[in-house]
Amino acid sequence: MEQVLSMVYLWLKAGHLIFVIFWMAGLFMLPRYYVYHQEAAEDSPENALWLDRENKLRKIILLPSVVIVWVLGLALAYAGDWWTSGWFHAKLLLVVLLSAFHGWLVAYGKKLARGERTLSGKKLRLLNEVPGITIAIIVILVVVKPF
């Protein structure tokens, strides 16, 4: 029985990592898409192309990935009994913040679709760094388990 549980755990971990990679790829791409979208004229065919690209990225890559990351991550936490570990609390907080960032990006995309361009390209380029910094800290927490 223990061998079966350890194999399931490894499959959960592998799936979790795969979908974290997909989610991060989407979070790296979406702000960059928004930069290019904002540079297109509002009434141009290029504007419509960016809207379509952003919608596909959100619906085909980001939404399924974030859902699977959460489901598998919570299953791993349960299987590993990490609920009382300090590193896990820190990781969970960062994942919640990254999920909120994801939600904010989706909301900003809806603003762009309405023609509201409230951020500069420079700010969007800076926001592009948020997922990379956050995931680096998360990886350190998971691998090193400093507390």
Residues annotated within the binding site for heme are: 16, 91
Please give the C-alpha separations between residue 86 and each of 34, 45, 137, in angstroms, as whole numbers. 36, 50, 14
Question: Among residues 77, 139, 131, which one has the least CA distance to residue 104?
Answer: 131
Give yes or no for a contact between 108 and 119, defined as CB atoms under 8 angstroms apart.
Answer: yes
How many C-beta neighbours within 10 Å does residue 138 have? 20
Residue stretches of the annotated binding site: 16, 91
Q: Check: CB of residue 65 under 8 Å from CB of residue 19.
A: yes
Sign for the CA dihedral angle at 131, 104, 108, 56 comes to: positive
> DSSP H helical segments within 81-129, as ranges?
86-113, 121-127
